[in-house]
Amino acid sequence: MEKSPLAVSLLILWLHLGRAGSVLNVEQYPLSLHVQEGENTNFTCRFPTSNFYTLQWYRWESAKSPELLFTITLNGDEKEEGRVKVTLDTKKGSSSLYFKGSQLEDAAMYLCAW
């Protein structure tokens, strides 16, 4: 039986997040967020500060493969693309994904993985 590319992508992400969630106790909040168009939006991911190497943020839309948005590795680092910015603070064990002026096309699930 041949597997679809979507099923394979979801399995890879599930294994990565499963490892992060069970072994490293990664917490992401808010779990869900409803905002008005034009409002600023912020998601935060918390992780243990020991043995940190890299953190990824993914965008996952229904019926599509997860899309890697950012990979961030250096303490105090910020990356920005358009209206979206990600920050990293390894000393506090947190990363934020920030949307300036949320738009309808931003509606999706956002996941962090270590």
Q: Which domain holds residue 66?
A: 26-113
Classify residue 10: in a domain, yes or no. no
- Which pLDDT score, from 0 to 100, does residue 113 have? 87
Largest CA distance in the chain: 47
Classify residue 75: in a domain, yes or no. yes
Phi then psi for residue 46, to 5 deg, are -110, 145
Burial of 55 per CB tally in 10 Å (0-12, 13-18, 19+): buried
Classify residue 59: in a domain, yes or no. yes
- Which pLDDT score, from 0 to 100, does residue 84 have? 96
H/E stretch holding 20 reads helix 5-23
Classify residue 13: in a domain, yes or no. no
Q: How many domains are there within the chain? A: 1
Classify residue 1: in a domain, yes or no. no
pLDDT at 81 over 90: yes
- Which pLDDT score, from 0 to 100, does residue 50 have? 72
- Which pLDDT score, from 0 to 100, does residue 25 have? 67
How does pLDDT run across 21-39, given as a tens digit for each residue? 334 467 877 777 788 889 9
Classify residue 17: in a domain, yes or no. no
